[in-house]
Structure formats: structure tokens, C-alpha cells
Chain A
Amino acid sequence: MTSPGDAAPVKPPPSFSPGVPRGASKTRYPNQRRDSSPSLDADLAESRVASPTPPLSATTSELPIRSASPRTPSFRSSTPQLARSSLGSPVDGRFEGSEEIRSLIIRSFSPVVGVYASADTDELVRQKGFAGGFWQLIRPFGETIPGKLVIRDSVGASRSWEDYGVRFVDLGNNNQSPPESSGGRSSPLAHAEEVLEKQLGSLDDPLGGSLYPKDFLGLPSTSPLYKLYLRQLLSIASATPHETFRHPVACVIAISSRNTAPLETLRRLYADTNNGDKRVPDWIHPEYLRYYVLVHDEDRDDITDSTKLYDQMKRHFGLHCHLLRLRSNQCVVTDDDSVQVPECEWLSPSERLYGRTEPLVDLDTGGLPHVFESDVMAIKAFVRELVAQSVVPYMENRVAVWNDQVASRRRGISGRFMSMSRRWAGFGSGSRSSLTSGGASGNYDTAHGYYKSDAPEAVLRKMADFAFMLRDWKLSASTYELLRSDYANDKAWKYHAGAYEMSAVSMLLSPSSMGTKVKIDAIDQMLETASYSYLTRCSDAPNTLRCLTLAMELLKSRGGSAVESAAKWAMRVMDQGLAGSIGQGLFSERISACYAARNAVPGMKWGSRRRKAGMWSVFAADLWLRLGKPSLASAALEEAERLYADVLQGDGAFSMPEMQTFIDNLRHAVKVEYLEARGLDTRDETATAAALGTEETSEQLDRRKNRKSLVVNPLDSGLSPTQGMRDNDNAADDDFERA
């Protein structure tokens, strides 16, 4: 890696858009996307999400978690590839990509806040053009809390987070799915696949798609398509008994200033959430935070009345109140202070499929409504106050209380003894009267398959999930560990799988347990158990896929030897057929990215996994081609060439004849399909020849680059005569992507 030949800039394979260097296209793409293809909502969300928060690398110094990890600095400094001028920006992008995906995963486990608004509030918001009512208005603003948020963990250390968020859900819809529902098990996955299909369809059509295919794919490790897939995967989950991430942590109860009997309405709404039709099922903890919001109509109502009412509310309900001042008039684009509502980042696949109407004419708005800037400010302030002053302190408090009351009793010596004695029931301590034989605690309702929300197992799980959502992974890992055996004793397999899954994920996320070999082995073991319980015992494909994908991404972000483990799990996903056809392609690319993330031993030529990465890229290209996505295939192939560039000495030809044949055929097929997709008649010899002709001239330039590197490092050019011959054979084919 440090030999002079490699230090010389290795020309990356040419891209589709000649004249646009890879690095430049990458940096340019957020703003370009906006006008080139408005339906590409992943990218839009990308740019929008990325813009408010500064790049992660800039903030690392402020986050103790990241600066504490020894990996980060050494990773940067010991990477010889970073010195490469021509590949500088892509490699950098890859590094940030892993942090970005980590952040994506962390953000996907954010607390859920239910929204329950009175009819008059929804009416007010509907006037503003939001058919879904108050929930729809505030939903996008919950996903990123502006500014830093300080969270104290169980030992009292504070940590500030830039990317915290909550999910607003409609309280009515959230609880509707009973535990035994979802008849079509794979349907959410099928939906996810469909969304991808749609996304690809809008890109691959010859007119819109061929403009910037390279931009769209970017680097495989940070491919927006994959991120869309991951986001879909992580937002599939609805509220289920076995994990409490989707159970409401708090509930926003909103009334408006138009209400004639405000306090009575509030009381009624509260009663609804407690025992009315919005009552949560048995397996959701009924004690969650209630937050009362008074929506003041700036355009029609008097502020003094509202203030008076608000004071009254504060007296009644204490601190968890907010006065939200909104204008009730509808805002149109042409208004002076109109602001587009950001798009929701976390839409479940079905919502993505059916919920949104595609913009037909107005390309600029992207189908999103506009609101007044003052409204946006008000909502942002409201959300920040809600989260920073109520939700997070509430969760911290609950974690502390439960940790004290339930968990510590289990953690101590006596707790161990108790759980042990429970297993050999008969001499169990008298404090638990509900003991049954066979080691089961008796809290598990085998008929319905859930624990009641006040059972210690459920409370512990909730506490662990709270800690997880508060990003106190150390505490959550230890709590999950505590739970695992309980669930196994009760044969609560889904809980069991979930505990193992989250235990592994927390361990991977927690900064202290860096990837030593032993740890990785332990984590592999946990993942094995989790995926077995999910898939074989519960036949729950979406959760298995989520578990393995999380494992892969987090192991990958660990770097080092964990990368192989990551690739192994990704292969498992492909092997078990969990992902659909597009998913298979994405996972192949992901495996390639995993292997590519493994770097050579400093100062040596070995230790990297370039060949494996290249191989998987080739497979991905093959898969994409079979799916009829030539532009993705050619991008994957290009990536493969880049990866193989180090390994194949100079001329880019494989010494193994059948590999070479296969790759040549693949190249040819990709080229033909790509030209066909662009409307070129490939049977027309002249057109094809012309397309090829332009390549050959540019090919000369590229080859010269390679030659130069050969001259610089003559030792590396010990070629056999056969390779030299192949070099000539391939000259025409090498750069077909130019077409």
C-alpha cells in the first residue's frame, strides 16, 4: 500500500458522466437533485436532514462517546488510501458514511410520543391545509430537535446529542395492531420492496434516470437507495408486546382556543387515554406522561383569553403544559414568509406507498404543504420544550426509579438467588406468590403471548428500552442481559429474541466495549440466538431482517476484524432469502462495502479484503443486471473495478480465464442493456460503434495513467505474457461505461 506505485494516484474507473469527477459530483449532488428529479424523496430528505445538523465529524470533539473511542483517530491516520489524491473524497465519504448510518440507526430508536387532539384543534389545523390534523402538522418537526439535548445517564454523567428526536404518532392508530395481527407476515417487507421498486422506476426510466445515474448511486456504502431501504426496515415496526420502542412514552393532548369548554375537554381527553377508546392494550404500560397543549389561533382569537386559560391549565396540570400559537389561515407558496414543511424521514413502507400523493405538476413544492415561518418557529420551540423539559426528564426519572426498584433487586446477590430459586421452584421465596412449577415465572400469558405491563419482566424490558432510547447503552445492555434468561425460562420466544437482539445492539453501540475478538464472538453468539428465535421459533421475517441488518451495520462501523463478521451476517440475510430481489442486490453491495472497509495492515500490502469486496461488487452487478437495472449494474461494476484496481496488476485483467470471461460478458451485457435503456438501438452497428468509438479515445488516456504507475513501480509490473495479451484484448471493453 505504501509502495510508490500505489501512492501515485490510481485513476478511478471513469464515470458515466464524462468530465464530472466523482468527488465533485458527490458534493454537488444535494442541490442538484432538487431540480433534476423531485420525486427522489430519499435524496431530498437526505439533504434536508443533513442541512440543519453540522457534519458529524465536526461535532465529534464535543461528544465524549466519539472522542473516547480510540478507533476513530487511528482509523483516520493509519489509512494509507486516504492519502490518495484522486480517491480522497470518496474514501472520506465512506468513513462518514459509517457514522451517518450509525446515527441513522440510533435515531431510528427514538421515543414515541402519542398525539391526541380535540376535534376543534384538528379542525383548526385542517384549515391550514393539513388533512391529517394536528398530528400531521407537528410530526415532521419531531424528528430532529433543534439544538443540543443534554441527557443524563444512570451514573449521572451528562452527554449532549445533536441528533435527538421523537416520533409523533397518532394515538388512535398506534394501538390498533393487536399482538396476533399482521396476517401476511412478509407484507411489510413486500411493501418495502415495492417502495424501492417505485423509487428505482422513477429513476431508471430513460429520460429522467440517465441524467445523473452516478449521482444517485454515489458511493455504494452511502447509497441513498440503501439508506432508504434501511430507513424503511427500521420504521416497519409497529407497537408490539415484545419491545416497547413503539409504546408511547408520552402523549400530547391538545385543545385549541376555539374550544368553549377547554378544561372539561382536557379532562375528557385525558379520560379517553386512560380508560376510554384510546386506552392502551394490556401489554403497554398505562402510565405514560401526559402533556397538555393549548393551540392558540393567532388569526381569530384573542391572546389574553388564551393566556388566561393557559395560566389556568398550568395551575391544574403543573409543568407539562404549552401554549402553541399558530395562525389558522392557509399559507400558500407565494406568501412572504412561507416555509415548506419538511418531509417526514421515518415513514413506514405502507405509508410511503399509499399515504402520499405524488406531485403531478408542481415540481417545486414536492407535494408538501407550506406554513408560515412564525408557525414553524412556534412548533419547533414547542417540540424542543416538550422533549427537553418533559419527555427526557420523565424518561430519566423512570429509568432511575425502575433501576432502583426492580432491576437492582435482581442484580444483587439475593436477586440472583431469587431467580435461581424460581427456576427450581418449590423453595422459592415467599415474596412471590404467583410462582408456578417448571421454572416459568407465571407472568407470561402463553395464550396471548405477552407479559402484562406491570410484570417485572415487562417493566425491566421497558426500562432497558428507555435507557436505550436515552442512549445509555451500557445500562440497557446489562438490563437486557438480565432479562434474557427470564424470557427463555418462560419460553417467551419473541421476547427472548428481542432481548438478545437489543443486547447485542447495545453492546455494539456502547462506546466502552470496543471490538476485541472475544466480544465480537459473544456478540455473534447473541445474534445467532436472536435470529434463530425470531426466524425459526416465531417465523418473524421482518424482525430477523432488522436484527441482522442492524448487526451488520454496527459491526461494520466497528471496523477491524468485526467487518468480517458483518459480512457474514449480510451473507446470512441473503442466504435465508429474507431480502427481496432488490434487497439482494443492495445486500451484495453492502457485503462489498463491508469488505472494502477493511484496510490493509499499515505499511504492508496485505490485510485488506479488496478481492472479496470486488467479488461481491461483481455479484451485485450481476444481480442488478438480472433485475433489469443496467445503470445500477454498471455502477456496481465500476465499483468492482475500483476495488480490483489494487489487486490486479496494472492492466485490470484477471489471470483466471473463466473469471475474465464472466466479467467480460457482464460488461458487455451491461453495456448493451444500458444503451437499450437509453433508447439506442444496439443492433444498429454504427450507433454502437460510435458509442464505443468515443470510448476508445478516452481509453487511451486512462491507459497512459496506468502505464505511468507501472513505470514508477517496475517491481509490481512483473507480468506474465498472457496478461500482456489480455491487456490488448480488453482495451476496447475496459471503459464501456462511458457510453
Chain B
Amino acid sequence: MSYYFTILSPTDVPLFNIAFGTSKSGGDGIARFRFPDTAQYMNQFIIHSSLDMVEEAQWMNGNMYLKHIDTYPPASAYISAFLTPSGARFLLLHQPPHAAGPNANAGGGGGGGGIGGSSSILGGSFAAGSSAARASASSIAANPTSPQTEEAVRQFMAEVYENYVKTVMNPFYRQGMEIRSAVFRSRVTAAGRKWL
């Protein structure tokens, strides 16, 4: 399973982006999306298009966590959303690994959080092969709409929200600014490793 997590301001400006892979069931925490390297914009397109659904769901639902709201079938990308009271949206795109990947070309670097500075949004973490195919069927990675996955995403969102509130309370942060805090990034990475 590969994840792409975005925080959007109420005016749809991205405040924070991170791409990571699953760390469960032997995953190495590196995102391997189904799009080729040249099509990394796809994640943003899908996230952006799902805002339509977020806008609709936020008025239909009293909760902050909106659950799985949208799917992009051609790439089997699933979007879960979380609303904050200030109007910022957390969107998580998750994509199960390709069932029949080409020859496994395990991305070199092990260890989670392979994402470097905030300059490269996707961290160049698209690998050609899909070693993530080894994820077992019972893990949350295999079935993005199962209750287990929903629960895991909810936990993740809650943890990120806690950290987000702390970051936003920082006196040096102005509303609508991009979140550049390295601490926040590492906390999100840790939450991803913990729950997803």
C-alpha cells in the first residue's frame, strides 16, 4: 500500500505533503504508486478532484473523520478525508499494491521515512518494481475499504490532527502558511509507520 497525505487550507492551498509506503507486514515504508515516474502529478489531480466529494460529505456528516469518501478506479486510489474545525482538510490517498507487478526491483533504502526535505514533495520515492506485493492479504494494505483500514486511517488522522494543532499553535506560524516544521514531518511519518 502506498500513501499520499496532504493537508489543504480552506482555499485549497496545499500546506503539507508527504508520500510514504506501508510499514506493516514487511513493507519498507517507501511509496510505490502505480503511476510511472513521469506521472507524479496524478496524485495531486486525484486529491484535487476528490475535493468535490469532501465538500459534499462535510455537510452530510457530523464527524471530523469523513472516512473513505472517494475512489479513482483506473488507478484504484482511495481517498479518506478528515476535517479540522478551522476548515483545513486532511486527505489521504491510499493505493493498494499492484497485484501482478513486474519483476521485483526492491527500492534500495530500507527504513521508513525515506522522505527527505520538503523540497521534493514525493521524495522521488516511486520505484519501478513493486516489492510491496508481498503484503499479505490479511493486512490492511490488501483491502482499502475494510473496517480495519477505516479504523487505522482514523487513528492516523487523529494523531496527525493532534500534531497539526500543536504546530499551528506555534506563534511563528501564520494561518495559511505552508507547514515546514521538520518535527511535524517526522511525527507524521511516525504516525504513518505506526498505523498504516
Contacts and interface: CB of A to CB of B under 8 A. Distances in A.
A615 B45 CA distance: 7
A41 to B, nearest CB: 33
A355 interface: no
A658 B44 contact: yes
Interface stretch (B5-13, B145-153, B163-171): B5-13
A723 B14 CA distance: 11
B59 interface: yes
Interface string B26-47: 0000000000000011001111
Interface string A710-739: 000000001110110000000000000000
Contacts of B12: 647, 655
A658 B48 contact: no
Interface stretch (B49-57, B92-100, B134-142, B187-195): B49-57
A656 B52 contact: no
A610 B52 CA distance: 7
Given A608-B52, A611-B51, A615-B49, A659 B44 contact: yes
Interface string A612-630: 1011001000000000000
Contacts of A719: 11
A661 B52 contact: no
Contact of A720 (B44, B49, B58, B176): B176
Interface string A52-70: 0000000000000000000
B41 A720 contact: no
Contacts of B85: none
B117 interface: no
Interface string A636-661: 00000000000101000011111101
A575 B45 contact: no
Nearest to A722: B13
Which bracket fits the contact residues of A?
Answer: 20 to 34
Interface in A584-622: 601, 604-612, 614-615, 618
A7 interface: no
B73 A571 contact: yes
Contact of A606 (B9, B59, B73): B59
Contacts, number: 66
Interface in A670-688: none
A655 B121 contact: no
B48 A656 contact: yes
A314 interface: no
A647 B48 CA distance: 10
A612 B11 contact: no
B13 A723 contact: yes
A572 interface: yes
Given A568-B73, A658-B40, A661-B41, A612 B14 contact: no
Which bracket fits the contact residues of B?
Answer: 20 to 34
Contacts of A655: 11-14
Contacts of A572: 73
B74 interface: yes
Interface in B52-101: 52, 55-56, 58-59, 73-74
Given A607-B56, A659-B41, A654 B11 contact: no
A707 to B, nearest CB: 18
Nearest to B122: A658
Nearest to A661: B41
Given A574-B74, A575-B74, A656-B14, A606 B48 contact: no
Given A618-B45, A658-B40, A659-B44, A609 B73 contact: no
B76 to A, nearest CB: 9
Contact of A658 (B11, B41, B55): B41
A168 B157 CA distance: 64
A662 interface: yes
A45 B6 CA distance: 50
Contact of B48 (A604, A605, A609, A654): A654
Contacts of A723: 13
A386 B13 CA distance: 65
B15 to A, nearest CB: 10
Contacts of A720: 9, 11, 13, 176
A611 B44 contact: no
Contacts of A615: 45-46, 48-49
Contacts of B44: 656, 658-659
Contacts of B176: 720
Contacts of B45: 615, 618, 659, 662
Given A656-B14, A658-B40, A718-B11, A611 B49 contact: yes
A718 B176 CA distance: 11
Nearest to B51: A611
B73 A662 contact: no
B48 A611 contact: yes
Nearest to A614: B49
A608 B46 CA distance: 16
Nearest to B75: A575
A722 to B, nearest CB: 7
Contacts of A608: 52
A423 B11 CA distance: 61
A191 B11 CA distance: 48
B11 A649 contact: yes
A659 B48 contact: yes
A575 B74 CA distance: 6
A41 B15 CA distance: 52
A337 B13 CA distance: 68
Interface in B109-161: 121
Most B Cβ at <10 Å: residue of A607, A609, A662: A662
B9 to A, nearest CB: 7
Contact of B55 (A575, A605, A654, A718): A605
A388 to B, nearest CB: 46
B57 to A, nearest CB: 9
Contacts of A657: 14, 121
Contacts of B41: 658-659, 661-662
Given A647-B12, A647-B51, 4 more contacts: A607-B55, A656-B48, A718-B11, A720-B13
| Ranked 5 nearest A-B pairs via Cβ | A606-B55, A662-B41, A655-B13, A656-B44, A658-B41
Interface of B: 9, 11-14, 40-41, 44-52, 55-56, 58-59, 73-74, 121, 176
26 contacts: A568-B73, A572-B73, A575-B73, A601-B56, A606-B55, A607-B55, A611-B48, A611-B49, A611-B52, A612-B52, A615-B45, A615-B46, A615-B49, A618-B45, A647-B51, A654-B48, A655-B14, A656-B44, A658-B40, A658-B41, A658-B44, A659-B44, A661-B41, A718-B11, A719-B11, A723-B13
